[in-house]
Amino acid sequence: MTMTSLQEPHSLEARALEHLWMHSNDLEWDELVNGGLRVFVEGHGSTLVDSQGKQYIDGLAGLFVVAAGHGRAEIGEAMAEQAGRLAYTAASNAANPVNIALAEKISSLTPGDLDRVFLCSGGSEAVESAMKIAKQVQVMRGHGKRYKVIARRGSYHGTTFGAASLTGSASEKYFGPFMAGVSKVPNPNHYRNDFGLDGEAGDIMCARYVEQEILAQGPENVAAVIGEPISVANGTHIPNPVYWQMLREICDRYGVLLIMDEVITGWGRTGKMFAAEHYGVVPDIMTMAKGLSSGYAPIAAVAVRSSIFDDFRPRGQALNHLITFGGHAVAAAGALKNIEILEREGLVERSAEVGSYLFDLAQQLRSHPTVGDVRGGMGLLCAIDFVKSKATREAWGTSHPFIKYLALRTQEEGLVTRVWDVLHLAPPFVLTRSEAERAIEIVDRCLTEAESKFGSEIQ
């Protein structure tokens, strides 16, 4: 983007800056005005095209969303056909053929007996719904004091009030105090573990900490434990299977429900349809969104085990909660066509194959003095951890000029991704090997530039 295009009053960039309130933004206003803003007008496969005609690799699949890739006309056609037949029916005491079909399809693919599906409009809504399901079923089982939820530090569960309460972040200074009854425990971290332990030993301590928190809060007061199978927000640390297996046993021991948040990891991101499959664990409640429709429609879902839904049957299935656009017929049609594509083209398997190749390529970045760790290898999830010192593992901080420079330069060179203390690579499943090579080349080149520019601060 050039300043000339921004100065033209009718350019897309100028119009965006005049009226559109964009969502969360890592750039300052001056940075947006002076070239940081991109307006994307087209996409195909793993490629985005901006209003100036420049092409980029979509290194983050939008926001861990576009699994099947951009430009899938057949998804739009399925949605248009459904819109022409029936776009909307209320979700209360009614259904339509396409959301029935979607619930059946989800039930057939989720692990174990997660065979009852509550449809929502987005990931935050799914997490809110999961919490309400957990709390209501505990009350219905005669445990009226079980309202507390245990979450993990550094996790991300959404931005609506309840979901943000589970997440916890700097936003609490604006919106706090958050929801009562939430406590936080350590998250598995294989690089900066809270207990000074590596690998499986650290994961075991994290699981034991969950049990200690249940006991500290009183098991009679705890409704649920929630966590992402792999916490992308916390830096994409992949737990050993023993961690999730221990959590399953601990929750069963104390009558606490286990919620797996698969909003990011579900629908093939980790090389299996759901990340829970890597761990041999079936949660009581599972949330999902993003890859469910590959972003072609806003839709999400909560899947629960039969034993959970059975408690609702005597009440005519009534959950004291509803969402106006839950089960929207057009969105459901888009999700069904997206799932068809994932299965027909073997894209979940492709996520595993190309993800392994991308992870192997990323290992070469370890030679940089600012790369402390490279994590991934489970599907198309890769994280490059930046440090000032490999010896101390000191992070730069997300607002440091080194990080901001790297974020801007990678985008200028044609790679759209997220650069905080960790650079995330989570492209669409249709990423080619040559695109994977180009993405790593861009990171390598821009990182060399940044290290040259900020060399005096590298220890």
Looking at the structure, tell me whether residues 82 and 160 fall in a common domain: yes
Looking at the structure, tell me whether residues 171 and 302 fall in a common domain: yes
In a domain, 30, yes or no: no
For 84-134, write each residue's pLDDT tens digit.
Answer: 999 999 877 889 999 999 999 999 999 999 999 999 999 999 999 999 999
Q: How confident is the model at residue 8 (pLDDT cuts 50, 70, 90)?
A: low
Number of domains in the chain: 2
In a domain, 446, yes or no: yes
In a domain, 295, yes or no: yes
Is the pLDDT confidence value at 174 over 90? no
Instruction: Tell which wins on pLDDT, 79 or 93.
Output: 79
Quote the pLDDT of residue 13.
86
Q: How many CB atoms sit inside 10 A of residue 71's CB?
A: 14
Tell me how far apart the alpha carbons of residues 292 and 282 are, in angstroms, rounded to a whole number.
Answer: 19
Looking at the structure, tell me whether residues 397 and 417 fall in a common domain: yes
pTM: 0.95
Looking at the structure, tell me whether residues 331 and 274 fall in a common domain: yes
Give the chain's mean pLDDT.
93
The tokens for 315 are 């009440």
Q: How confident is the model at residue 2 (pLDDT cuts 50, 70, 90)?
A: very low
DSSP-derived 3-state class of residue 445 = helix
Of the candidates 328, 344, 360, which is a domain's last residue? 344
Quote the pLDDT of residue 28.
74
Using the 8-state DSSP alphabet, how is residue 389 labeled? Answer: E
Domain that holds residue 403: 55-67+347-457
Looking at the structure, tell me whether residues 110 and 223 fall in a common domain: yes
The tokens for 329 are 């017929």
Which uninterrupted H or E stretch holds 318? none
CATH number at residue 294: 3.40.640.10
Q: What is the 3-state secondary structure (H, E, C) of 319-378?
A: CCCCCCCCCCHHHHHHHHHHHHHHHHCCHHHHHHHHHHHHHHHHHHHHHCCCEEEEEECC
55 to each of 41, 371, 406, 411, 439, how far by Cα in Å? 10, 27, 19, 10, 13
Looking at the structure, tell me whether residues 112 and 242 fall in a common domain: yes
Count of residues for the chain? 459
Of the candidates 289, 309, 344, which is a domain's last residue? 344
In a domain, 36, yes or no: no
Looking at the structure, tell me whether residues 257 and 279 fall in a common domain: yes
Looking at the structure, tell me whether residues 117 and 91 fall in a common domain: yes
Looking at the structure, tell me whether residues 372 and 298 fall in a common domain: no
Looking at the structure, tell me whether residues 393 and 336 fall in a common domain: no
In a domain, 1, yes or no: no
For 232-283, write each residue's pLDDT tens digit.
Answer: 999 999 999 999 999 999 999 999 999 999 999 999 999 999 999 999 999 9
Burial environment of residue 139 by CB neighbours within 10 A (0 to 12, 13 to 18, 19 or more): middle
Quote the pLDDT of residue 5.
46
Of the candidates 310, 325, 344, which is a domain's last residue? 344
Quote the pLDDT of residue 313.
85
CATH number at residue 443: 3.90.1150.10
Q: What is the gyration radius of the CA atoms in the chain, in angstroms?
A: 22
Using the 8-state DSSP alphabet, how is residue 66 labeled? Answer: -
In a domain, 87, yes or no: yes
In a domain, 49, yes or no: no
Tell me how far apart the alpha carbons of residues 342 and 10 are, in angstroms, rounded to a whole number.
Answer: 39
Looking at the structure, tell me whether residues 132 and 178 fall in a common domain: yes
**Cβ-based neighbours of 223, under 8 Å, separated by 6 or more:** 131, 134, 135, 138, 143, 146, 147, 148, 149, 256, 257
In a domain, 34, yes or no: no
Quote the pLDDT of residue 10.
67
Mean pLDDT, rounded, for 305-332? 89
Looking at the structure, tell me whether residues 290 and 411 fall in a common domain: no
DSSP 184-202: EEPPP-SSS-TTS--HHHH
